[in-house]
């Protein structure tokens, strides 16, 4: 079969299932094959060695999403072979088998292992709804899908992708604010990923209400998905983010502690909050201005009474080391003397009805028009309007209510968006709207301050949102269950390409108890995005608002967060290069370990590759922790545990169970009050003995500008080799002069009294070391643990950081 047919015929009976049908003709193309049945046409494209794109449509041409996939097909060698009714397309990594009788597709690795296969129902339509039905492989689990509640293993549930404003959502409710139609299947034969590139409302059913298949479907548009195979889950995520992009390196201040409330006003209250952080020696970098900073909730305004001189206020906050982030909602009040509305109306920038009248919905300011962010002119206009904030000194932007939300929560589907010239209804454009608003904010921040890295935080988004913004999990609730659910949400976002994510520490809705807030602050210190936030008409919820004990516990973990900044910043850099998460579900490194999927352990995660965090409710004093394969050191005492087993661990309120993986390294710095403050100039490197070695890429740059893109950075690889009992420091790359002048290398689990540095013998010194400070009156002493959780006689070595490449040997 080697000729292309005319346009396929469209069925007139749209009320029942219509399968793709038998392939009548196909031809080879530069990237794969394409062809048709009587009813529909298809295209199969080899995108990369391990990625194949599948497209099926009932119409003459294929639809596409212009927003998510940013890479082009690579030049890949592949082969095509036909045997009877079977057609095989192969690369060096995968083989696709196409059944020409029913357009049924199976995917194999090059060893012949079946990884994913269509059910015999294959690809089909019911009216405009298109569905791909898939077999379930033996012992298959499903992970990912972005911001979705529920268990780590998605099996047995169905999920809807339809961006929704959901105040106080339940821990099992769906859908929420953000849609990322990408999941990973894991079973005995390996793992694979599927990204469904369709922006309409879609459903992923992983075995809910049936025992025959799993499926993904969209209410309209084409079947358009990317099948991804790599030898590991981590490499699958790398491949997915090679399609949809990776985050830009954020400003360092965005990794510090951030304080928000709905709302801080007037300006005197903002000053008081900032000063209290400094008075109480609690490190913090960011204060947010929520909707009450505006006049009548209108974006691009300041309330003249509450904030009489915003520029002077922000300047004073900067003197204390604080950055200011302002909220921006999309709703533009339809008020004739309100300049942004007049401009938007004159320039035709709002979402409209089919008859040309602008769509209005009610939000905080009242009846509002909504900028059409799927229109390039609107994004440019929004970028220009942001000068209002940047001229006042604002540093970052928080795009909220961008699902888009409106009172009533039922936006009419007939409203129309530009969609980059294609024109689309709300059905197609809704899921992409928040992402395009975040894009507009990022482009606006870059336009207004071209020498600085933008910081944008968003509530809504779609696949690829990581290129434009950090994400937080919306209006959560102050409860133990929500605290743990937020961890799963962030870890699932990490599985789906969104590395920079977090939750409202303490809970947005409701009132946190003292113990809950303390525990949440300790867990939040090990999240990529670390922000406390609470709503109006609730009790104060700053870290000092719950009494002395909670204040001291909060301060301890805030300080620990800032001490770990060299590690965190280095891992953010790696994530910007690889797309791998900073907060990492155990399913990435241990996908075949059945224990990690159990409800008792599914909240555990790796932070910055090395730290295993075992979250636990604040009501518990002892907890079970599952330690995967390998050696693990309790962070606060160096007590060593062998993995692949469960332990019981004391978890008093001031000690969150955290373990360090044997063979890994951590870097630390001295205490600072904010990220821009100078340290004591000593980089503290902690090396943990293990059977398997590792590499740590230490990264530094100026922290806020773009000079690093031209080589003004410092990168240095540190390698631990247990087989040779050595530690190797590579040559530093880049032109940046390090912030550290000395190295202080701590050796955990080693018995060496001395080491050799490039042939010269150095005796090791010893000191007592504590990751957390003792609380003055509230420090319990669990049995069999060192008093105050202090590591005694920890060996260390001091060296000059200016040394070029060198090796340390003699580690035992």
**Residue 434 sits in the same domain as residue 467:** yes
Task: Kindly report the length of the chain.
Answer: 812
Between the alpha carbon of residue 108 and those of residues 22, 56, 585, the distances in Å are 22, 21, 26
Q: Rounded distance, CA 461 to CA 444, Å?
A: 17
503-532 b/e (C-beta count within 10 Å ≥ 16 → b): bbbbbbbbebbebbbbbbbbbbbbbbbbbb
Strand partners, 28: 33
Count of the separate structural domains present in the chain: 2
- Return the structure tokens found at 204: 């992923």
Q: Residue 400 catalytic?
A: yes
Which of 362, 367, 302, 361 has its CA nearest to residue 328?
A: 302
CA dihedral 37, 42, 43, 49 (to 10 degrees): -100
**Cβ–Cβ < 8 Å for 236, 192:** yes
**Residue 416 sits in the same domain as residue 302:** yes
Q: Does residue 302 sit in helix, strand or coil?
A: coil
Packed helices 376-385 and 426-448: angle between N→C axes, nearest 10 degrees: 40
Instruction: Confirm whether 616 is domain-assigned.
Output: no
- Return the structure tokens found at 414: 């007939």
SS (H, E, C) 396-443: EEEECCCCCCCCCCCCCCCCEECCCCCCEEHHHHHHHHHHHHHHHHHH
398: domain CATH number? 3.20.20.80
**Residue 271 sits in the same domain as residue 142:** no
Q: Rounded distance, CA 521 to CA 88, Å?
A: 54
Instruction: Confirm whether 402 is domain-assigned.
Output: yes
- Return the structure tokens found at 522: 């300790």
Phi and psi torsions of 574, nearest 5° = -60, -40
Q: Which of 189, 211, 244 is the last residue of a domain?
A: 244
Q: Rounded distance, CA 177 to CA 46, Å?
A: 33
**Cβ–Cβ < 8 Å for 330, 370:** yes
**Residue 295 sits in the same domain as residue 362:** yes
Q: In 10 A of CB 59, how many CB atoms?
A: 12
Q: What's the number of CA atoms in the CB half-sphere (13 Å) around residue 299?
A: 27
Q: Which of 244, 272, 303 is the last residue of a domain?
A: 244
**Residue 101 sits in the same domain as residue 181:** yes
Residue whose structure tokens are 């004391």: 650
Which of 326, 335, 333 has its CA nearest to residue 391?
A: 326
**Cβ–Cβ < 8 Å for 779, 654:** yes
**Residue 201 sits in the same domain as residue 343:** no
User: Which residues span the domain enclosing 462?
Assistant: 253-583
Strand partners, 605: 585, 613
| Grouped pLDDT means (10 residues each) for the chain, 812 residues | 44 78 97 97 98 97 96 96 96 98 97 97 97 97 98 98 98 98 98 98 98 98 98 98 98 98 97 98 98 98 98 98 98 97 98 98 98 98 98 98 97 98 97 98 98 98 98 98 98 98 98 98 98 95 97 98 98 98 98 98 98 98 97 97 97 96 98 98 98 97 97 98 97 96 98 95 96 79 60 95 89 95
Which of 336, 311, 335 has its CA nearest to residue 324?
A: 311
**Residue 441 sits in the same domain as residue 525:** yes
**Residue 211 sits in the same domain as residue 351:** no
**Residue 391 sits in the same domain as residue 351:** yes
Q: Which of 403, 418, 604, 704 is catalytic?
A: 403
pLDDT (0 to 100) of residue 4: 39
Phi and psi torsions of 170, nearest 5° = -80, 160
Q: Does residue 106 sit in helix, strand or coil?
A: strand
Q: Does residue 744 sit in helix, strand or coil?
A: strand
Which of 8, 4, 64 has its CA nearest to residue 33?
A: 4
Q: In 10 A of CB 14, how many CB atoms?
A: 12
Which of 415, 432, 349 has its CA nearest to residue 383?
A: 349
Instruction: Confirm whether 608 is domain-assigned.
Output: no
Instruction: Confirm whether 297 is domain-assigned.
Output: yes
Between the alpha carbon of residue 671 and those of residues 416, 564, 698, the distances in Å are 53, 10, 19
SS (H, E, C) 612-668: EECCCCCCCCEEEEEECCCEEEECCCCCEEECCEEEEEECCCCCCCEEEECCCEEEE
Q: Rounded distance, CA 418 to CA 675, Å?
A: 42
**Residues contacting residue 461 through CB under 8 Å, at least 6 positions apart:** 163, 177, 178, 179, 180, 434, 435, 438, 468, 469, 471, 498
Task: Give the DSSP per-residue string, 12-49.
Answer: S-TTS-EE-----EEEE-SSEEEEE-SS-EEEEEEEET
pLDDT (0 to 100) of residue 185: 98
Q: Rounded distance, CA 214 to CA 204, Å?
A: 8
Q: Which of 192, 226, 244 is the last residue of a domain?
A: 244
In the chain, what's the furthest Cα-to-Cα distance?
Answer: 85
**Residues contacting residue 397 through CB under 8 Å, at least 6 positions apart:** 325, 326, 328, 386, 389, 441, 444, 445, 454, 455, 456, 457
Q: Rounded distance, CA 225 to CA 371, Å?
A: 30
Q: Which of 303, 329, 400, 542 is catalytic?
A: 400
- Return the structure tokens found at 640: 């060593």
158: domain CATH number? 2.60.40.1760
Q: In 10 A of CB 779, how many CB atoms?
A: 16
Instruction: Confirm whether 209 is domain-assigned.
Output: yes
**Residues contacting residue 411 through CB under 8 Å, at least 6 positions apart:** 361, 404, 426, 430
Bond preceding residue 404 cis, omega within 30 of 0: yes
**Residue 360 sits in the same domain as residue 232:** no
Phi and psi torsions of 391, nearest 5° = -70, -25
Q: Which of 475, 504, 551, 584 is catalytic?
A: 475
Secondary-structure breakdown of the chain: helix, strand, coil percentages, each rounded to the nearest 5? 20, 30, 50
pLDDT (0 to 100) of residue 31: 97
Instruction: Confirm whether 6 is domain-assigned.
Output: no
Q: Rounded distance, CA 745 to CA 767, Å?
A: 12
User: Which helix (H) or strand (E) is 548 found in, with range?
Assistant: helix 548-563
Which of 714, 700, 807, 698 has its CA nearest to residue 755?
A: 807
How far apart, in Å, do the first and last CA atoms of the chain sit?
67
- Return the structure tokens found at 438: 């975040």
pLDDT (0 to 100) of residue 5: 42
**Residue 205 sits in the same domain as residue 334:** no
Instruction: Confirm whether 522 is domain-assigned.
Output: yes
Instruction: Confirm whether 735 is domain-assigned.
Output: no
**Residue 172 sits in the same domain as residue 301:** no
- Return the structure tokens found at 779: 């420090």
Which of 348, 401, 356 has its CA nearest to residue 376?
A: 348
Packed helices 480-495 and 514-524: angle between N→C axes, nearest 10 degrees: 20
How does strand 529-532 pair with strand 501-505? Answer: parallel
pLDDT (0 to 100) of residue 7: 47
Which of 290, 234, 240, 281 has its CA nearest to residue 262?
A: 290
- Return the structure tokens found at 278: 């400094």
């Amino acid at each position: 079969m080697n000729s292309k047919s005319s346009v396929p015929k469209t069925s007139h009976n749209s009320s029942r299932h219509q399968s793709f049908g038998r392939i009548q003709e196909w031809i080879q193309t530069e990237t794969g094959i394409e062809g048709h049945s009587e009813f529909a046409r298809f295209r199969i494209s080899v995108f990369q060695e391990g990625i194949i794109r599948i497209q099926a449509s009932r119409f003459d041409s294929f639809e596409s999403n212009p927003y998510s996939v940013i890479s082009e097909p690579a030049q890949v060698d592949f082969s095509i072979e036909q045997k009877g009714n079977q057609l095989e397309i192969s690369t060096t990594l995968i083989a696709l088998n196409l059944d020409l009788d029913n357009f049924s597709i199976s995917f194999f690795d090059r060893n012949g292992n079946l990884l994913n296969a269509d059910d015999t129902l294959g690809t089909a339509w019911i009216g405009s709804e298109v569905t791909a039905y898939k077999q379930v492989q033996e012992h298959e689990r499903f992970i990912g899908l972005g911001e979705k509640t529920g268990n780590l293993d998605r099996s047995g549930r169905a999920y809807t992708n339809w961006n929704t404003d959901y105040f106080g959502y339940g821990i099992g409710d769906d859908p929420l604010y953000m849609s990322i139609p990408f999941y990973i299947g894991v079973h005995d034969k390996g793992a694979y990923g599927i990204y469904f590139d369709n922006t309409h409302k879609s459903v992923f059913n992983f075995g809910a209400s049936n025992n025959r298949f799993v499926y993904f479907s969209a209410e309209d548009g084409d079947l358009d998905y990317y099948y991804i195979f790599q030898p590991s889950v981590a490499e699958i995520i790398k491949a997915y983010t090679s399609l949809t992009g990776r985050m830009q390196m954020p400003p360092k201040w965005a990794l510090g502690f951030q304080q928000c409330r709905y709302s801080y006003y007037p300006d005197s209250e903002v000053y008081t909050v900032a000063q209290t952080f400094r008075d109480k020696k609690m490190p913090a970098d960011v204060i947010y201005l929520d909707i009450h900073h505006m006049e009548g909730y209108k974006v691009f305004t300041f309330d003249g009474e509450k904030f009489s001189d915003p520029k002077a206020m922000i300047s004073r906050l900067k003197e204390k080391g604080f950055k200011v982030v302002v909220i921006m909602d999309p709703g533009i009040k339809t008020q004739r003397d309100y300049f942004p509305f007049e401009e938007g109306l004159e320039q035709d920038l709002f979402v409209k009805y089919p008859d040309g009248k602008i769509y209005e919905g009610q939000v905080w300011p009242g009846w509002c028009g909504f900028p059409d962010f799927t229109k390039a002119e609107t994004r440019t206009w929004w970028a220009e309007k942001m000068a209002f904030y940047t001229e006042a000194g604002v540093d970052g932007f928080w795009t909220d209510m961008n699902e888009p939300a409106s009172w009533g929560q039922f936006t009419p589907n007939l409203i129309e968006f530009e969609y980059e010239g294609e024109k689309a209804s709300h059905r197609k454009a809704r899921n992409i709207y928040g992402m395009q608003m975040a894009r507009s904010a990022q482009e606006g921040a870059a336009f207004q301050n071209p020498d600085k890295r933008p910081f944008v935080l968003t509530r809504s988004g779609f696949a690829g949102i990581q290129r434009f913004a950090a994400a937080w999990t919306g209006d959560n609730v102050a409860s133990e269950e929500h605290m743990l659910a937020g961890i799963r949400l962030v870890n699932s976002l990490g599985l789906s390409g969104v590395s920079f994510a977090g939750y409202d520490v303490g809970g947005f809705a409701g009132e946190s108890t003292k113990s809950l807030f303390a525990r949440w602050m300790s867990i939040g210190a090990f999240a990529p995005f670390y922000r406390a936030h609470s709503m109006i008409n609730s009790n104060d919820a700053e870290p000092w608002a719950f009494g002395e004990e909670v204040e001291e516990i909060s301060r301890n973990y805030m300080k620990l967060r800032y001490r770990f900044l060299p590690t965190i910043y280095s891992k953010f850099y790696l994530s910007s290069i690889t797309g791998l998460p900073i907060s990492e579900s155990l399913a990435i490194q241990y996908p075949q370990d059945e224990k990690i999927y159990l409800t008792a352990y599914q909240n555990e995660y790796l932070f910055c590759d090395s730290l295993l965090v075992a979250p636990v409710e604040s009501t518990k004093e002892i907890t079970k922790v599952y330690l995967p394969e390998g050696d693990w050191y309790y962070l606060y005492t160096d007590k060593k545990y062998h993995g692949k087993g469960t332990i019981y661990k004391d978890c008093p309120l001031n000690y969150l169970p955290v373990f360090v993986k044997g063979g890994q390294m951590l870097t630390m710095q001295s205490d600072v009050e904010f990220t821009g403050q100078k340290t004591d100039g000593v980089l503290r490197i902690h090396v943990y003995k293990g059977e398997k070695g590792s590499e740590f890429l230490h990264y530094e740059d100026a922290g806020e500008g773009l000079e690093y893109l031209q080589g003004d950075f410092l990168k240095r690889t540190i390698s631990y080799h247990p087989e040779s009992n050595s530690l190797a420091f590579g040559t530093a790359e880049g032109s940046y002069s390090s912030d550290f002048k000395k190295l202080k290398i701590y050796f955990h689990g080693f018995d060496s009294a001395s080491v050799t540095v490039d042939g010269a013998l150095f005796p090791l010194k010893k000191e007592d070391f504590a990751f957390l400070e003792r609380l003055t009156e509230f420090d319990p002493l669990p049995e069999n643990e060192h008093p105050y959780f202090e590591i005694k006689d920890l060996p260390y070595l001091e060296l000059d950081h200016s040394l070029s490449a060198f090796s340390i040997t003699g580690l035992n």
